[in-house]
Structure formats: structure tokens, C-alpha cells
């Protein structure tokens, strides 16, 4: 893949995002997180060449390799790395120096471990709290009922800067189900906005199969892989 071919695809995707914003009468911008997980360095370089700076990974080992190689090439400062997958507590120390934003703070135990390691490292972790607004038992995240109280407790932890929420919708074509999932996340986002230390900057929701609906329902950050790069290599 090269930057020129990706630019054409990216233009079409941005047009779809703008159309969704217009349909909803929204003024807020929508940021694209280019999901490079499972793709090689050629895709990372194409994304950066096309002007995509936020890159999403979900495995610490894969993220570490890409960060190291990009730094060695002299382009390390060009990327903003987003950790979008579940982070195991025993991987926190390794992951901490690699990402700029973590989307998936999905439990108080993980938040506490991030806080502890951030204090040891003398840095601040910037992140989103993951909420489970679909009600699926297989999904991680704070359940809808009680989520605001959980977010409030996470916000009180040292060295954590919580700048929004993230949710994942079910893998379905049922529009009503998708809209309900996204609307509930937007409701929680609005309710959390009044919490001390909560920074209501990002609502991360929407992927390649449902991002237009997510934008219509209030997403400010969409996580896009297949629609930009095609199917993953692995």
C-alpha cells in the first residue's frame, strides 16, 4: 500500500463522515484513528504519508515493534499511538512508554495498576474509560448501570487523566441495536461531563462497519481499519 492510493480512499471515508455529521446537524469534529493492528510497516508508513497521525494497535508486543522501528527510521514523532484493545494488568509496565492514549480502561483494577505504574514512571496516563452499553456479557467495560460512579472513582486515581469514554457495538447489521448502543454511550458521556477531573474531549465509538451511525449518534473519534486498508494480513 502507498500513500497515494490511501489518500483517495481516505477522501471518500471523510466524505462519508461529513455526510453523517450533516445529517445529524453536528458541529463537533470527528477524528480518525487508523487501526494498523495486524498490518505491516508499509501500512503504517502509508497512513502517515496520507496525513493520518493517530494509529491504533491492540497488542503490546506488536505495538512495541512498530514503535521501535518507526523511531529507528526517524519518524517516531510523526505518530500518535492509541492502544485500543484489552490491556492485561501484567502488561501495563511494558505498555506504558509506548502509547499516547489508551481507549480501553475497562475496570477499576486495571485503572489502579495504570495509576501505580504511572506514579513509578513519573508520568501521566491519558485514557478513556471503556463502557459496555450493549449489555453483551462477552464485552469488557463498565456496565451502563453504575458506570458514572465507576468513572468517578477512576478519575480520582493519581496520574490518570481521563479524557472521555469508549464503547464497542455488537457485530450486527441491526441499526436499532447499533443506535441504542451508541446513544447510551453518549448519554453516559454527557452525564460524566460534570464529574470532577473528567475531561469530556473524546467519545470513541464506531468502526468500519458502523462508523456513520456512530457519528450520527455523537462519536468524536472513530476507529477504522478495514475500510481504509482492506483485510488484515494476520
CATH number of residue 160's parent domain: 3.20.20.10
Q: How far apart are CA 42 and CA 159, in angstroms?
A: 35
- CA 125 and chain centroid, separation: 14
Q: Identify which of 132, 187, 131, 129 has the alpha carbon closest to the alpha carbon of residue 154.
A: 129
The b/e string for 130-163 (b: 16+ C-beta within 10 A; e otherwise) is bbbbbeeeebbbbebeebbebbeebbebebbebb
In a domain, 42, yes or no: yes
In a domain, 234, yes or no: no
In a domain, 104, yes or no: yes
In a domain, 199, yes or no: yes
The pTM of this model reads: 0.95
In a domain, 66, yes or no: yes
- CA 195 and chain centroid, separation: 21
- 83 within 8 A of 96, measured Cβ to Cβ: no
| H helical segments located in 122-172 | 147-155
In a domain, 208, yes or no: yes
Containing domain of residue 142, as a range? 3-229
Domains in the chain: how many in total? 1
> Could you read off the pLDDT tens digit of each residue along the chain, which spans 234 residues?
666 789 999 999 999 999 999 999 999 999 999 999 999 999 999 999 999 999 999 999 999 999 999 999 998 889 999 999 999 999 999 999 999 999 999 999 999 999 999 999 999 999 999 999 999 988 999 999 999 999 999 999 999 999 999 999 999 999 999 999 999 999 999 999 999 999 999 999 999 999 999 999 999 999 999 999 998 765
In a domain, 39, yes or no: yes
In a domain, 81, yes or no: yes
Amino acid at each position: 500500500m502507498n500513500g497515494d492510493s490511501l489518500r483517495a480512499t481516505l477522501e471518500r471515508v471523510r466524505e462519508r463522515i461529513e455526510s453523517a455529521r450533516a445529517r445529524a446537524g453536528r458541529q463537533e469534529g470527528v477524528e480518525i484513528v487508523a487501526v494498523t493492528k495486524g498490518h505491516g510497516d508499509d501500512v503504517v508508513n502509508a497512513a502517515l504519508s496520507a496525513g493520518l497521525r493517530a494509529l491504533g494497535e491492540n497488542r503490546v508486543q506488536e505495538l512495541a515493534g512498530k514503535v521501535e522501528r518507526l523511531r529507528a527510521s526517524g519518524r517516531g514523532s510523526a505518530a500518535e499511538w492509541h492502544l485500543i484493545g484489552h490491556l492485561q494488568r501484567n502488561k501495563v509496565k511494558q505498555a506504558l512508554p509506548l502509547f499516547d492514549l489508551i481507549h480501553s480502561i475497562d475496570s477499576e483494577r486495571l485503572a489502579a495498576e495504570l495509576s501505580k505504574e504511572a506514579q513509578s514512571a513519573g508520568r501521566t496516563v491519558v485514557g478513556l474509560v471503556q463502557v459496555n452499553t450493549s449489555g453483551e456479557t462477552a464485552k469488557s467495560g463498565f456496565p451502563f448501570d453504575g458506570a458514572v460512579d465507576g468513572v468517578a472513582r477512576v478519575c480520582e486515581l493519581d496520574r490518570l487523566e481521563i479524557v472521555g469514554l469508549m464503547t464497542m457495538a455488537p457485530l450486527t447489521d441491526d441499526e436499532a441495536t447499533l443506535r441504542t448502543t451508541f446513544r447510551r454511550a453518549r448519554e453516559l458521556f454527557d452525564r460524566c461531563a460534570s464529574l470532577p477531573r473528567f475531561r469530556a474531549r473524546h467519545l470513541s465509538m464506531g468502526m468500519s462497519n458502523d462508523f456513520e451511525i456512530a457519528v450520527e449518534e455523537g462519536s468524536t473519534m472513530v476507529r477504522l481499519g478495514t475500510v481504509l486498508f482492506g483485510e488484515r494480513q494476520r
